[in-house]
Structures are given as structure tokens and as C-alpha cells.
Structure 1
């Protein structure tokens, strides 16, 4: 007989949705999240129950882990042996759980992330405190369900005689839910349970007088009481965990940082490597060596510092940039009433208290039933012994055991159970001593029955039993708190001066973009001569600076480059520097405009920029102090084909002079330019004629005598008094600086400010460079076209004009 195939035509979304929904429900309820009552995931519960059932308890010898794993897989948890063994190992790691539930002999891993030995090598047994999770499980205190193949029964929850969810915490990821519940100190959690029992309306504020916050097995310093309070109130909150560190002096003026406790769940080996990488990558110059001196006596990491380094500054840097300090986010999700629930502190405590009331109630019912059954037997035995001769006579007259029991029941009104106990009685029990013992036992049973009945009928007595038993657990297992709690999260401020060794260097930048720092020794050996540079290039910037300083490099693309001096390549004076494009990415047609050094960015100053199309803008100097500087940062938002032609630092300057290609000059106060953010476009500085562009901008210091030198493309130059130009307002056309010629008119290449005997270089289209001393020029009026200094026909047209860079003493620009 052939079986007919059946097809169902179902939408793919419906099938996938249904299947994934079932899968999600399974891993949420029965895999990744802990139960709110005993704080265990199913695999952990099955491991503990399997060990308990096999007698692998704290008072017995250790047993091979492989035997337990096989037992768990075969009877309760049909999954991979690796996952079961890993869960078992975690329960035995004293740096992962606050109170170990499994004791293990052999290699069970390390804080460095080392794998444990294979399960065939390690031995394990339940810990003493794990016994408290399982105590009274044989007294019908919890519900049992059939295992996966219906061959055995397993518990749905453990009696959990202490609040394991909060004591050991939990972490896990399921579908749509994740959980992160930190461990706590046992005695604090028990005190919170007692407070909640006495005052069911206790607030988080009141509970936090006894449960201060998490207590991690690795210790450390917890910062942020507000984060703890928020987590207890809502289930979500953030705290900071930082390592415990001490600074110890060494010989020769050196110091070392000694770490004795690290944050929870941090891999020690990875953390040490990251610290050492800071030294190796030259991000942190003050460390000479990092050593792990941990042994069986405890954790000890030593960070040895170079001489005269600020240990606190380096420690703060490591807190901020390594796992010496981490953030911990509470996400207190647990399975409560078969549903994933965001647990507050109160709901966690209440779930445990309700569970304990059920456990004590069911245990008392079990013990009461057992006591009543025994009392019934004892009463029967006492009655039988009081009429012993008749009982013996009846038994001797009976044919067999069954007949004897029937005769006892019919003759003396014994029950079936009492008759069974009488016929099974041993002869030595017929002594006077045994009668006394039975009467004493009956008295004890009466007291026990009264006590159990009281527990079952009085909520107060039930509560007192729970309190008494919790007090015993507190006395036996409580340990001193390991984590220190600090009220506020400390704000870490890092100054580069603390981390970078102070070293004087000569910093140079060329017009074509070659940058380097040179040691004073290399500079002195060359006597400042023979500077390595391409023939077509010229020196734009040279200063004696310190490695703790920073330079800002401005480009024609409207960008600036933030460059700490200590990160510049250390190159000899006679060797070519490193091109800026290898440090940050620049556009192909982008070139360097100006370079300015800064010790810090706290000064009351601003950066002024001017574009070819006449836009001007100012931004506060403090805005240029940035943390991430791996790329060029926008400082002027240019539009179309516009480009930046000037960047300057405004300190004492009060006015701005702008010169255009078609020989117009405009002078106006700087206060007319508002201070705006970095990425703004600015405001109009000059009203340009069609085809005209800005070629120069000069900031004017009223305390300094300044003259203007103008150079045209035809090689003419002249010097003018600044007073030739009246102060007006921005966005004007300005006044003429040259006499207009009908044929071959002069066009301004550059206008420079001179204060003395500066040397000016004129560069032509044929690569000729002609020096010009500012003192060689006579002062003329603004209508003059000046003197021809370059032969246009032989040398070419003037294309660029700049002041020769003169070495300056070390100071802030």
C-alpha cells in the first residue's frame, strides 16, 4: 500500500515566523535566562541536580567531571558535552561567581582566558553552599517534570535556600532579551530579604541601607551610587568598575603602579597586552615595563614607570584607555512566572520570598504528613504493648502474616499500618525500655506536629522559620565585601604634559608639505645650514618647540591638521621630512597656507580665515583643541571653486586689511566678524568686482608700526603707509592701490606686512627666485605703480611672494 504525500501551501513568512517564534520561546524560557527564584539557567540546574542525585556532594570524595557531564547529557540535557562542561567549569571559577557552586580539582581555567583541562582530567563535587540550593528537594518542595525522554523526573526549580539570583548574578543572551545581573555580598542580600519581609513596602532607598550595591568576586572599586539606585529601581543602570591600584616608590626617583584587583569579567592577559601596547605604540611614553607577577597568593600586575613621570596621570590615562576601568550596565532580566521580566530590586526579593514561603509550606506539609504517619504507628505500638499478651496470643493463633494482621484489625481495631508495624516488631523491642522510648517519641512527635501545624496556619511563624534559617546560612557562609563602593563616578582628565616626556626640538614645515622634528643636537651639528628640501620648495615654518606642544597646519582646502609635536617623525636636519599626506589624507590640489604652534588652547584668542572669494570668519581657539585628529578637520566651509588664502591667530590685533587681485584694498575692524563654529562659511569681507579675487589678508596690531609691501605680476613692487587706507566697514569694494593702465595692467600677486628689515622672496613662472629687502623700497602713495624689480621678459611673471622664514625663540605664536 503506497502512502499518499500531503502538501501544505503556506506563505514562507508564516512558516519562518512560526518556527522562529517557537525557537525563541524555547531559548528564552529554557536556555539563556535565569529563573528569578533560584537564579539558575536550566543547564546549571540540571548539573547541580545530577550531582546531588548521584551523591557527588560536599561531604563525599571528588568525582571525575566527565562522569557528571555524561550523566547530565544522558538524563537531563541532550546537548553538546562542551557546553555542559563549560557551564560546570564556570560554576567552579572563583573569579566568575561570588560563591562557587561546584568545587573542582585540576585546571579549571584562569583569569587570563586559559581553557580548563579536558573533563577527563578534572574532578568535581558540589560545594557546601550548593547544598543549600538543593536542601529539602526530596520533600516534595518543588515541582518535578518528566525529562526529555520520559525516563526520569527533573525539578523545574531548586528550593534555593539563599537568594542565588542576586548573590551570584547572571549573564546571558537569548532571542530579543539579554541579561546582566551582577553578583552581590551574601550577607547584604540576606539582610535585604529580612528587611523586605518585615516591611513589604520597603523602598529602594531603605533597602540600600543594607544592600550597598554589587560585590564582584574580583573586587575592584565601584563608582556611581546613582547608577546602582537606578538599576535597583528600574532594572537598568550603569556603573564604573575600576582596578585597585597603588603607587609604590622605587630607587632612583622612579615609581611603579601595582594593580591588585581588576574589573569583573576582564581578561587579565588581554588587559596587560593592551597596557603594554600603549608603551610599544608610543602612545604612552612614561612606561618602561609591564609585568604580571600574579601567583597562587594573589593577583599582582606591576607597571614600572620612567624617571620623573607623574604616576597618577599615567594611571588616569590607563583607566581611560584600557580595561583597568570598564563600565558595567545592569540589565536585570529573569524568568518570572514563566515570562522574561525586567526585575527591580523589590521584585527580585519578592520573587525569592514568595518562593521560600512555598518551599517552607510544602516542606512542612511533607514533614507533618510523615510525623502524623509515625505518630499513628507509635500509638499503635504503645497500645499493642499495653495488651501484649492478647496480641501475642492472637498472632500465635493466626495462620500466616496476612491472617495475623486481619485478626489484629478485627480484634483490637488496629489500622492496616499499625497491624503491619506490630507483626514486624522484633522481640527485643518488647522490653520496658522500648515502651519508654515510644512514649518519649510520641511526646516529641506531638510537639513536632504542633509546631508544623503552627507554621502552616500562622504567617508569622512561617516568616520566623525563614528568618531563622537565613540567619544560619548568613552565619555559615557570609564573607567580607570585596568591592569598594564610591559615591561618584570620577571624571578622568588627562593632560598630555603628564604623559609625554618634555623634550626641546626644532620643528620645520615646508610649503610643499614636508614636516619633521629635529633634535637640537642634529640642528647644532649642521649649524642650521644644509636643510634638506627640494629645489622647488621653500621653508614655511621653523620654530624651537617642545614635544608637549601642538601645531595647527592650515590648508587651502579650508581644513586644518591638528598635529602633536611628539607624534611628528624624528628626522635629521639634513634628511627630507615626512610628507603631510602620509600623516593625514589631503586633496590633490590642497596646499599648506600657514602653521601655528600652541602650548595649550586656553588663551583668549581666535583663528581668522579668509577665502579667495572674499569670505571671512573667526572661530574661538578652544574649538581647535580636538581629541580625534587622524584626518584633516574642516575650519571654513568653502563653496564652489573657492579656496582659503589666509589663516591667522587673533590675539591683540584689532583690524583686518584685505587686498584683491585687481588692486583694491579694504580695511575694517575685526569686531565686525562674529565668532562662529568651526564648520561655518563666515561672512562677506569684501565686495568683489566680477573676475576679481582676494590675494592677501593682513591682521593689524595697533601697537605695532606696520607698512604694506605690494608686488604685481609684472615684477613691480612698492611700499605704502598703512595710513593710506582709512578704516571702513566690511563688505565694501575698498580703495584702489595702483594706477589703472589701459594696456597690460598690473595685477596684485601679494600684499605683505613688514615691520623692519624682513627679507621677501619673489618667485616667477620660470622658477627664478629673487630676494627683496623691505628696507630697499621707498615709501610711495597708493596711486603709484612702484618700481620694476623683475624683468618680465627674461625672468617670467611673478607667481608667488612670501617672507623668508626666520628662526624664532621658543614661545607660543
Structure 2
């Protein structure tokens, strides 16, 4: 019985061994290019097979299917689709700087269209591809057996052009990937020639010749530092953007013309993306997007609306579409059978070393051939000098073999010379001129001396490399297509570009609902039909603009910022969105003040705020500018001293020449008035300074910024309303107790619920809001101005209507 062949192996060992071998195979034999010829195996096999079949630039085109079949049957036993895709890519002039294949028929497009099937297209090697294969028949590269040992194929092509840098490469294998951008052939040749005579050249010196990649699609490269890093280490990032210009049209309109797009960007997808932004109104001002590309070149027209900000829209498109992309260098190639990430200088050095090796092998081949021929020519010259004897000897010989032997024995010819003599056809003897042979002999001797000089002197070898590189540059070099800019432009996008300039009505409610409505929706509805619940009411109702900014201040010291255009757009009859949908508020937290501002940059005022525990603060507007995380996190606008502390009011002060004073009132009926100048300006996260000297059982109820000549209205906790002149309260200093403004009663005394200041000329209505809530109007003209010591007159039944909590001016119908 035979022994069992079953092996017991761990899964880790089996997977490690199998995957290791698979990885080695796809790294070396599939996905990564060779540093010498810049080709992957499938590309090399396509070029070699087409060249072998005579499918070259100086012959007619042949069906692509024939070339693919030859490659698949003889050298590359994989799917025909992968071979055809590689063949097509080598023909696409928007992918390669110097296409190696010429194609008739549809070979795809920049729009991502697939090529026609290989049975329809025709292909042949391009003229420059001939240089990739030049001298391959002179034993310049190693030839190995193919997959079925029936033919030989090269391990590398002679590559008389620096293909890896000129055409670049892209590929993904196991654990390795490569992204090498295309470069300008003339620039690469200049750098190679410089390096040939300056072995210690620095990267900066080489970059004088090769400043950056040169993409076949043109465009603009930005960021010299990124290029330098990539050329130094093999990895780096640059910005590539489209070439554009802004054209003025009739009627105040303008148009952005795109004439070149970044490398490997799908043009159709780019146009579609820009048009989607127009439809979705992600950017305001685009009227139409057209792809006007034709046989004359690429052209995308972005027509703008009248008076649109063309540069702002272009910046937005650069930032949000593939009109500008980041290109990441990852220069990995197979160097001495190992995948290596290498810099620019190493690429150039490897190519030069390879070319020296190719020329050395070619020269040796030519030398051997010339020496062999010289030997034959010397024999023929000798034979002609004794022609009659040679003929007689041959005639006297028994056969060809005997004739050769007799020539060798009698006249000291060598075996090859004797073979050449007996092979010579008889008619050649009649017109063979010894002078021609002697000229050939001299020419051969000169060639042999030249070959030996190249092989024996590195400088002469370098001269040959240089001469042939210059010939390549002269024949195939062209101008740079991609422009290079040193710095990456910072893209600043104005809000006006993103948001339509539209007048709206903004509402913020006591319970925290916010919305914006179009002026048309507001005008078409009843003002009171605002979508709020019965126990909710507006604390801000203002005409604003989508380009404006909303600040919301809570009683717990938090500031919530919203650009008006980001507020939920709702009909006037709808409720809107609650602020807690985006930012969480504490259970006892509510919005106490809402303000809108047109321009954050132009505001130069200060915010004034006061707390119930007797602190006041003034902070510059610029300290409250929104940060990056404003959507999810509120900022702190004041530091509260205690858990029970709350902010009572926030007002905005714009510097002016009018003398303004701060007025505070306490719950027990004390009022304190002092100059605004007594309140220092502090930072955002400070608590401020003492505003009022309070007793333990007292607290501040409100704060106001008053003008000289104003009147004061207050409402008490018992529902009494009182008006008085501001001048009744003397101006003193901050942090005092203040003066009494209510007559003290022994039983059930009046306490201040809230107060408001208003101009003496004001003749409108004030609103008293209770905790039910019930809103009751009070006309200022219906009540005479009282003295400082009066308690006013009752206007509210607290038993049926609730306790008053707020006094404010009535929100009037907006004129929109």
C-alpha cells in the first residue's frame, strides 16, 4: 500500500505561502512598470508581437483583433479584454504624452466612452514606438522562453526613449501602487544629457530642466514644493487645475471658457456635475453649461447670468468640481526585480545606466559582425589574387567538403574563408572587383576601431548616448503643454456666489422655532397666522436678506450663529424648525435675544449684556465671529458665576456721538443708572464686572441702554403699569444700590417684573406678556407720566391673566 500524500499544514502557512507567491507574480509580472523601459509585461508583449509581425508605422493598419490574438496566443495567456484595453490606452493621446500605438476607429474619448470592439478597430505601432524596439535584434536585451516554451520574448525592451517619465504609469498590485505622471520628452532628454556629464547633479539642478510633469491634456500645475518633494522622495501632491478665461458678453453677461482640463478627468462627468450644481442652485449665477468640444479642441462654455460674480463662481467650481484636482505622485517601479519608490534622479540614473548597457551590447554585436565580415573579405581578396590556382584546386576536388579542405590545406584559408569561397557563385568571379573588397575592408577596419573605442572608453560611450538622445529630441521633442505656477492659490469663495441675493422675513419664537419665509409668502398671509403654537410668540420678526447673519443669545450664556440662507425656508404659515434639531439646549435654556447683521466684516460695535446676579459686560463684535463648528456647537458669550445665574438681556451698541447711559432695575424696585463708559470691554469668555450692589434677596430684572430724554415704562408683579421720565433716575456710578422707584407697601408690595425704555416721541403700543402666556397691549398715550415714588395703575388681572414676565414694544406688520 502506497504512503499517504496528505500533508497537515496550518491555514496560516498555506495562505502565507500561496498569497506570497501570487503577490510576487502580480507585482513583477502584471501591475508595475520596469524602471528601464517604463512598460508593464502586457504592454511590452503587445509592442514586441506587433513589431515581430511587421505591424509598424511604415506599413498599413491591421485589425486590432489580429494583434490581440497574436499576443494572447504567443506571449500573454490572459483574457483578450485586458490585452485590448492595454493596447487602446497606448493609443490615447489624452492619456500618454507620446502614444506608442496608432489606431483607426473609435479608441474611446475624454468623456469616458468605451472604444469600439477590437474587430472594428485597426492598429499599428507609432513611429516613436519603433525607437522602443530599435536594436532588439542585436542581442541587446535578454530573451526568455514564453509560457509554453515555443518562442522567445524579451524581458525588457531597448527603449531608446525615456518612456517611463515621458508617458508615466499607473497601476495597483498587492501592497504596492504606482502613479507616475507624464513628462515632456525634450525636457527629460535635456536632464539626461546634463546628468550624463554631471554625475553629482542636485535635484534643484535637474529641476531646471524638468520643472514639473507635462500632462497631455495641458492644464496648470500649482505648488513647486509638492513637486520638489515628489521628485525627492517619490511621493508628493500637486494641484492641477483647468485653463480658463472669463469672456465678457453683451448685455452685462459674462462666460467662463474652459480650454484644458486636468489629467484623467472625465469631461462629460465634469460638465454634468457643473450643470447639476446649476440645477440644484448650489451656486448662484450660472445660466447654462455647454460642451462645445469639436475637432478644433476642447471647449466648455459656462454662461453666467447678468452681473454675476464670474471670478467668485470660478473659484467655487475650482473647489467643488474636477476643474481642479489634487494629483498624488507615487513613483513606484520595478528596479532590479524589486518594487522601489524612487525619486527623479534615480529614474534618470537608471535609464542612463540601461542605455549604456544597451549600446555596449549593440556595439559588441556590431563588432563581432564586422570582425567576422572582415575575416571573410580578407579571404576573398586573397582568393582573387590567386584565382586560377583556387579554381584549379576546386575543380580537382571530389566534392564541396574536399574542396574546402584542399583550400585550407594548400593556401592556409580558414574554415569560414573556405566556406565563403566555395559558396561564391561562379558568375560573381567575373565581376568581382578587388578594389570594392579593399574599400569594404578599409571601412570595416575603421568601424571595428570605432566599436573598440566605444567599448574601451566610457567617455566615448557617453558621447554615443548623448548623440542618440539629441536625435530623439530633434525628431520627437515638442513644446510643454502644462503651465507651472509656483504657489497653490488659496480659494476664497464669497457667500454671494453660493446664495441668491433675496429679501426674506426672519422669525424667531420664544420657544426656539426659527424660519425664513419669502416676502411674497409673508405678504400673502395674515401676520398673526405665523404657524406658531398658541402658547408661543415671536421674539424677532424682521425683514432680512439671504446674505445676512442671525445671532441668537440664550439665557445660559450661549451664542448660536446661523447664516440666514441656512435657516429652514418655510411658508409663513409653517412652524419652521426648532433650534434643538441642530444644537441641543439645556432644559431651562431659552433664547432671550435675536439680532440680524448684514455684514460681519464691517461691524465695529460692541455687545452689552447683564445677568440677574448683578454683573455686566461689554464685548467687541469681532470676538463673536463664528467658528468652523458653528452648525453643531454654540459658542460662549459670557461666563456665568453661579448655577442659578442667567443672562437677562443683550443689546448691541454702535459707537455714536449721542451720550447713552445704562439703566438697571432690581426686583425690589431699585434703579441704577450710569454711563456706558464705566463698563470695560472684555473678552468673550469673561464674566464682566459688578453692575449693581444687590441685597441677598434681590436680583436684577432687566437692563437697557437709554438715550437722554427717553421715557421708562415698567410692569409690576401685581399687574400695575407705570411710565416715568428717565431723568427721574439720577446718573451715578456703577456697582451702587440705586434709588427706589416704587412706593414700598407693608403688605403685598409691588415688585418689578420688567421694564422698557422708549423715546418720548413714541406713540405706539407696548405688549405685556404673562406666563400663561397672554399678550395684552398698552398704549403709552393712555397713561400719564408718574413720579418716581408712585406704583402706577393696574392694567392686568394676575388671577385670570397670569403673572407678567415681559414688557416690550409691539411687533408691527412689516412693510415688505
Taking structure 1 as the reference length, the TM-score comes to 0.87
Compared CA separation, residues 496 and 374, structure 1 to 2 (3 A): same
After superposition, residues 154-165 of structure 1 pair within 5 angstroms as: 154-165=153-164
d(CA) in 1 for partners of 2:283 and 2:188?
42
Compared CA separation, residues 416 and 81, structure 1 to 2 (3 A): same
Compared CA separation, residues 409 and 8, structure 1 to 2 (3 A): same
After superposition, residues 145-156 of structure 1 pair within 5 angstroms as: 145-156=144-155
After superposition, residues 74-223 of structure 1 pair within 5 angstroms as: 74-223=73-222
d(CA) in 2 for partners of 1:608 and 1:82?
73
Secondary structure of the equivalent of 2:237?
strand
Partner of 1:367 in structure 2? 366
Number of residue equivalences? 799
Compared CA separation, residues 152 and 398, structure 1 to 2 (3 A): same
1:651 positional shift: 3.9
Secondary structure of the equivalent of 2:296?
coil
Compared CA separation, residues 766 and 517, structure 1 to 2 (3 A): closer
Verify the 8 A CA contact 1:612 1:643 in the aligned structure 2. yes
Compared CA separation, residues 508 and 150, structure 1 to 2 (3 A): same
1:698 corresponds to which of 700, 703, 706: 703
Compared CA separation, residues 641 and 126, structure 1 to 2 (3 A): farther
Q: Which moved more, 1:404-413 or 1:628-637?
A: 628-637
Compared CA separation, residues 801 and 156, structure 1 to 2 (3 A): farther
d(CA) in 2 for partners of 1:800 and 1:166?
76
d(CA) in 2 for partners of 1:199 and 1:647?
73
Verify the 8 A CA contact 1:609 1:636 in the aligned structure 2. no
d(CA) in 1 for partners of 2:340 and 2:644?
60
1:560 positional shift: 5.0
Verify the 8 A CA contact 1:764 1:797 in the aligned structure 2. yes
d(CA) in 1 for partners of 2:802 and 2:391?
144
After superposition, residues 205-284 of structure 1 pair within 5 angstroms as: 205-284=204-283
d(CA) in 2 for partners of 1:54 and 1:693?
104
Partner of 2:515 in structure 1? 515
d(CA) in 1 for partners of 2:741 and 2:41?
89
Partner of 2:768 in structure 1? 762
Partner of 1:674 in structure 2? 682
Compared CA separation, residues 197 and 419, structure 1 to 2 (3 A): same
Q: Which moved more, 1:636-645 or 1:743-752?
A: 636-645
The CA RMSD measured in Å over matched residues stands at 3.9
d(CA) in 2 for partners of 1:458 and 1:218?
43
Secondary structure of the equivalent of 2:444?
helix
After superposition, residues 317-336 of structure 1 pair within 5 angstroms as: 317-336=316-335
d(CA) in 2 for partners of 1:327 and 1:557?
45
Verify the 8 A CA contact 1:27 1:174 in the aligned structure 2. yes
Partner of 1:552 in structure 2? 551
Compared CA separation, residues 544 and 454, structure 1 to 2 (3 A): same
1:360 positional shift: 0.7
Partner of 1:578 in structure 2? 576
Verify the 8 A CA contact 1:506 1:542 in the aligned structure 2. yes
Compared CA separation, residues 403 and 76, structure 1 to 2 (3 A): same
Verify the 8 A CA contact 1:669 1:727 in the aligned structure 2. no
Secondary structure of the equivalent of 1:309?
coil
Taking structure 2 as the reference length, the TM-score comes to 0.87
Partner of 1:624 in structure 2? 625
After superposition, residues 587-736 of structure 1 pair within 5 angstroms as: 591-602=590-601, 603-605=603-605, 618=619, 620-621=621-622, 624-625=625-626, 631=632, 633-635=634-636, 646-652=649-655, 674-676=682-684, 698=703, 700=705, 709-718=713-722, 721=726, 723=729, 727-728=733-734
Map Cα deviations across residues 608-647 of structure 1 (whole Å, 9 max, x no partner). Answer: 6777888988575365345676556444599989877655
Secondary structure of the equivalent of 2:116?
coil
Secondary structure of the equivalent of 1:104?
strand
Structure 1 unaligned residues grouped into runs of 5+:
none
Partner of 2:8 in structure 1? 8
Verify the 8 A CA contact 2:610 2:703 in the aligned structure 1. no
d(CA) in 1 for partners of 2:669 and 2:425?
131
Partner of 1:451 in structure 2? 450
Secondary structure of the equivalent of 2:466?
helix
1:791 corresponds to which of 754, 775, 797: 797
Map Cα deviations across residues 477-505 of structure 1 (whole Å, 9 max, x no partner). Answer: 11221112223322222222356554444
Secondary structure of the equivalent of 1:485?
strand
Verify the 8 A CA contact 2:569 2:576 in the aligned structure 1. no
Verify the 8 A CA contact 2:555 2:590 in the aligned structure 1. yes
Confirm or deny that 1:490 pairs with 2:489: yes
Verify the 8 A CA contact 2:234 2:344 in the aligned structure 1. yes
Map Cα deviations across residues 64-119 of structure 1 (whole Å, 9 max, x no partner). Answer: 32333333333333333333322222211111111111122222211111222222
Verify the 8 A CA contact 1:142 1:155 in the aligned structure 2. yes
Verify the 8 A CA contact 2:678 2:734 in the aligned structure 1. no
Map Cα deviations across residues 360-395 of structure 1 (whole Å, 9 max, x no partner). Answer: 111111111111111112212222222222222222
1:302 positional shift: 0.9
Secondary structure of the equivalent of 1:377?
helix
Verify the 8 A CA contact 2:315 2:492 in the aligned structure 1. yes
Structure 2 unaligned residues grouped into runs of 5+:
none
After superposition, residues 526-565 of structure 1 pair within 5 angstroms as: 532-534=530-532, 535-554=534-553, 562-565=561-564
Verify the 8 A CA contact 2:34 2:40 in the aligned structure 1. yes
d(CA) in 2 for partners of 1:454 and 1:93?
42
Secondary structure of the equivalent of 1:354?
helix
d(CA) in 1 for partners of 2:583 and 2:690?
30
Compared CA separation, residues 686 and 392, structure 1 to 2 (3 A): farther
Verify the 8 A CA contact 2:234 2:329 in the aligned structure 1. yes
Compared CA separation, residues 337 and 86, structure 1 to 2 (3 A): same
1:580 positional shift: 4.8
Verify the 8 A CA contact 1:497 1:548 in the aligned structure 2. yes
d(CA) in 2 for partners of 1:103 and 1:691?
94
d(CA) in 2 for partners of 1:742 and 1:9?
99
Partner of 2:395 in structure 1? 396
Partner of 1:383 in structure 2? 382
Verify the 8 A CA contact 2:503 2:518 in the aligned structure 1. no
Verify the 8 A CA contact 2:134 2:158 in the aligned structure 1. yes
Secondary structure of the equivalent of 2:117?
coil
